[in-house]
Amino acid sequence: MKRFVHLFPIAIAAVLLAACNGGQSAKTHKLITPVKFSDVTINDGFWSPRLQSHKDVTLKVCIDQIENQTGRIQNFRNAAAGSGEHSGIFFDDSDVYKALEGMAYSLQNNPDPELEAKCDEWIDLFAAAQQGDGYINTYYTLTGLENRWSDMDKHEMYCAGHLTEAAVAYYNVTGKRKLLDVAIKMADHMMTVFGPGKRDWVPGHEEIELALVKLYGVTGEKKYLDFAQWLLEERGRGYGTWSALAAENHYQDSRPVREMTDISGHAVRAMYLYCGMADVAAYTGDQGYIDALHRLWDDVVLRNMYITGGIGQSASNEGFTTDYSLPNLTAYCETCASVGMVLWNWRMNQFTGDAKYIDVLERSMYNGALAGISLAGDRFFYVNPLESTGSHHRQPWYGCACCPSQICRFLPSIGNYVYGVAADGIYVNLYMGNSASVKLGSRKVTLTQETDYPWDGAVALTVGCKRPFKSALRLRIPGWCKAYELTVNGQAADAPVEKGYAVLNRKWHDGDRIALNMSMPAEIVAADPRVKEDEGCRAVQRGPLVYCMEEVDNPDFAELCIEEDTSFDAVWESDLLRGVTTLSATVGDREMKLIPYYAWDNREAGRMRVWIPLSGE
């Protein structure tokens, strides 16, 4: 029986990684450059309906909540007018920025004059709310500017980071730079206050670091990269205004970043920190950062990650506790943290060319992150437990709405993760129906994928080119895949596997067709024996999907158990949960039915569990 924690071997590669989505003005040390989502047109039975729901439903929900149901946009109006009160939480500005980033990505995929006009309306408010010295934060503008920069955990730089990411995204999509100028002025303001020879500062919630690197990428101004690195170097040196215990248990501030060995503290903050470290290392080649990231990845994935790709065990710190302590009923697994795992592992893959990082990215994307939004696209999970008594449900919004706005910006950008280009060829990372334009040196190549993934392991990939070209195509063989067949134009292909990729190195002609057929049986998975919460239980996965048992399908929920050799039948049910492959089995004299974890809590309330008791235990 394969134990879950052994699915991911230890990292050994030490090349450098990618920095950001934005334009690049300086050479990076990265091995792989991602093909941007704007060059990947998704036409896929699984993802296209979700992207349509994002456009038609999720964006409208976010806009309505921001404009009508909460005071988030009113805070900007009040700040622009210089009067009125601030409502909500001190970091609510960030939700507006993240929603705008999602709107920008949607515009890239689906041009919409009405949506673009809404973006411009918001941007006008942001610009009007900015102070003369470049500072922008509605909380302090409305509660007392004299108190700004007085509390490291009031998320001023966190909000500024999300402003910057939204500004870079909107500039890249539309060419309009009004919001980019707002972000530049805020960054310049911060650099008049903080930096070498000025005030020390440790942002309580990381995010600004990776955003500054994006700003460097789009402007070419190295001062933003330098400021990002300065902020990283401030950590673990006693500058944080919190206790030593809090520094370890919440803020990633107990030791300098290049000395980190174990993940600690708030899960989302940790993910943003590691992304920032990776982005800075991409430009500087800092080996200390690189070594630390490999150590941290091992600790996260091998000892602190749920089978869903979720991370962060505890509600008390929204983060990590002790190794191998992975409770299911009380699992926190914030949606934002699963998206963070996608972002971090994406960077680690670009660093190393190792498919194991895409394995984790895929696990987090299809399970931990996708569970964060309802099938209708209008309700959200903040917390994603692996067991429920029937009382845990998605909500239309949250007082702390970081997760709805996070999903809003994540979904329309999934095309980012499909392909990459390197000196050693084209990397095919994810399998979904799409047509992509790939720049390979001085030529453009098209790749067209046809597949029913994740329901089926058959993938057809067609090459389009004006002239034949010589290159390697590297197709990821997922860690879950135990057997596969690979052909080119109907002939068995000789494709050695390197770092998890089957390598097809040949001269390609227009119309060449690659067929990858991956065996996709249901697999019964045991946890590492050190995970005591899963002792005497098993989980079930099929392909990239983790499955769960819901009470609505299993009236005798409490009595159901699983055996080591239980055989499951995979059945496509088009009228269930907007179309899913279910897994059914008979154990003893009882019938069991499982659904994909991402789809739970989309019907009537009831109990749910991922880890199912083992018969006889």
* Residues with active-site annotation: 318, 402
Nearest to residue 348, comparing CAs of 6, 3, 15, 5? 15
Q: Please report, for residues 82, 124, 139, 318, 442, the alpha-carbon distance to residue 90 in angstroms, rounded to integers and kept in the order given.
A: 17, 21, 5, 18, 49
Q: Which amino acid, 118? A: K
CB 164 within 8 A of CB 184: no
Nearest to residue 213, comparing CAs of 166, 288, 282, 152? 282
- How far apart (Å, rounded) are the C-alpha atoms in residues 546 and 599? 10
**Residue whose tokens read 């993760």:** 417
CB 176 within 8 A of CB 112: no
SS3 state at 542: strand
Nearest to residue 460, comparing CAs of 482, 438, 483, 428? 428
- The string of DSSP codes covering 51-107 is HHHIIIIIHHHHHHIIIIISSHHHHHHHHHHT-S---S-TTTHHHHHHHHHHHHHHH
Q: Token pair of 6, please?
A: 């052994």
Contacts of 341 (CB under 8 A, 6+ apart): 271, 300, 305, 309, 311, 360, 361, 364, 368, 369
Report how far apart the first and last C-alpha atoms of the chain are (Å, whole number). Answer: 17
Element of type H or E holding 284 = helix 267-284
- How far apart (Å, rounded) are the C-alpha atoms in residues 181 and 184? 5
Question: Which pairing describes strands 513-518 and 458-464: parallel, antiparallel, or unpaired?
Answer: antiparallel
HSE (CB half, 13 Å, CA atoms) of 577?
22
- How far apart (Å, rounded) are the C-alpha atoms in residues 158 and 203? 7
Nearest to residue 449, comparing CAs of 432, 471, 467? 432
- How far apart (Å, rounded) are the C-alpha atoms in residues 180 and 161? 12
Phi-psi sector, 490: left (phi>0), alpha (psi -120 to 50), beta:
left
The residues pairing with 483 across neighbouring beta strands, listed in sequence order, are none
- How far apart (Å, rounded) are the C-alpha atoms in residues 213 and 430? 26
Nearest to residue 169, comparing CAs of 92, 93, 109, 229? 109
Residue 499 burial (CB count, 10 A):
16
